[in-house]
Amino acid sequence: MILAVDDEPDVLTVLEEEVLDACPDCQFHKVTNYREAVEKMTSWTYDAVILDVFGVQGFNLLELARRRHFPVGLLTTYPLTPETLRLPAQLAARAYLPKERLGEIVPFLEEILKYNYLPG
């Protein structure tokens, strides 16, 4: 089961289509705001969580995912620089996908699961 959290519905639609094309039997939850994400993350167990870094309080959600032991991949529209990576690195985030590469979400998720990218 996968949870995707992003404030852009179009991004969630692309993610869902890509994942379900590759794995039609997968369960895919998508939410557009922090409150719903917290509700999902406290009510369900996920094999992977995809978080927008900046649009939905992604760093707070990353901390929750760490406590729940969910593998996490982060999406970002910002360039990956030492400054933009400082807080995620402090939270032990290790997997990033620029939003312009959403079509690569399936191999990205496979890598997250293969290497068990757990924050913290």
**Three-class SS of residue 31?**
strand
Could you tell me the domains of the chain?
Answer: 2-114 (3.40.50.2300)
Structure tokens at 9: 């519905």
Place of tokens 């590759």: 22
- Please report which confidence band the pLDDT of residue 34 belongs to, taking 50, 70 and 90 as the band edges: very high
DSSP state of 79: -
Q: Report pLDDT digits (tens) over 49-106.
A: 999 877 767 778 988 998 999 988 888 776 555 555 555 555 555 577 888 889 999 9
What's the CA gap between 97 and 99, in Å, rounded?
6
Structure tokens at 102: 């959403």
Beta bridge partners of residue 98, listed in sequence order? 76
Q: Report pLDDT digits (tens) over 86-99.
A: 555 555 555 778 88
Place of tokens 């990033």: 96
pLDDT > 60? residue 46: yes
- Please report which confidence band the pLDDT of residue 117 belongs to, taking 50, 70 and 90 as the band edges: low
What's the CA gap between 17 and 49, in Å, rounded?
16
